[in-house]
Amino acid sequence: MCTAVSYKTKNHYFGRNLDLEFSYHETVTVTPRKKQFYFRHLGVIKEHPAMIGMAYVVNDYPLYYEASNEYGVSIAGLNFPENAHYNSPMDGKDNVASFELIPWIMSNCKTVGDAKKLLSKINITSDAFSEKLPPSPLHWMIADSKECIVFEQTVSGGHIYDNPAKVMTNNPAFDYQLTHLSDYMSCSASEPENVFAGDIAMKRYSRGMGGIGIPGDLSSASRFVKVAFTRLNSYTTDDESASVSQFFKILGSVEQQKGCCRLGKNDDGSPVCEYTIYSSCCNTDKGIYYYTTYENSQITAVDMYHEDLDGVHVVIYELVKGQQIRWEN
């Protein structure tokens, strides 16, 4: 399970929590403009906008979890089990494998409007990257500084949803997630008024009671409500430090701690736990990718524009996972 967020102050920020019970060898990955992308059904793209994000790199091919390109378009793929449906190649469609969708969008789009046009023609195929890496069931959130959409391909076909909440989690399908928000329309960041019954005198006994009812469990539907409430009520100043800090606080409202979501037991009897492996925040205007990991709460940054963006090979940065503590004595 995962959570994605789009957020704007002076600059636009895009990022996610990756929540899983295991980790691949993911790295912060910069793909320069001349790194060629070979697509299973659509030929080769020899030059494209540079991009940065988190990826599992296999033989110099970046399998991006999420990425932002130099035009400020961002996309994240999130788990969508039992709902995602991939097809065989279809005539008259742009046939794109699930692992190819992020580089396809990043290579061809300068705005979310461009992405909408591409997605209207796309058929996500069931092609595997390799025998050891079968296709993952995904749906995708795509955003720039002005728009945010969700793309899902189910048994009924491809669906493009406008996303006014500018957040996304996992199951159920996105149209349900938006409808589900209506169940919480009486919740507020402000102090509540007594509308329960005029004949009963009631008084507030704590701050924050306007948000009573906002869920706090780790299910996808509950996390959608919680992170939407947090993001939509979030306030910060426009400077970079405050904006980045606030973005991580928004993601932190739905982060998962080891032990709270148990999926079984390992051979040694220890619990198999889903947890927030990393959290990311990309300033899409400046090309700066920030991240934290489960073990390391210090924010680490990689600036895409400090790399040779006209190169032909991806540049990777290993994640700093050990806790970084600033000693003062």
Catalytic residue list? 2
Using CA atoms, how far apart are residues 82 and 2, in angstroms rounded to an integer?
16
Comparing C-alpha atoms, which of 147, 192, 154 is closest to residue 171? 154
Alpha carbon separation from 154 to 60, 123, 150 (Å, rounded): 31, 11, 13
Comparing C-alpha atoms, which of 147, 149, 100, 146 is closest to residue 123? 100
CA angle 189, 193, 197 (to 5 degrees): 140
The string of DSSP letters for 103-162 reads HHHHHH-SSHHHHHHHHTTEEEE---SBTTBPPP-EEEEEE-SS-EEEEEEETTEEEEEE
The string of DSSP letters for 260-317 reads SSEEEE-TTSPEEE-EEEEEEEEETTTTEEEEEESS--S-EEEEGGGS-TT-SS-EEE
Say if residues 278 and 18 touch (Cβ distance below 8 Å). yes
Say if residues 183 and 206 touch (Cβ distance below 8 Å). no
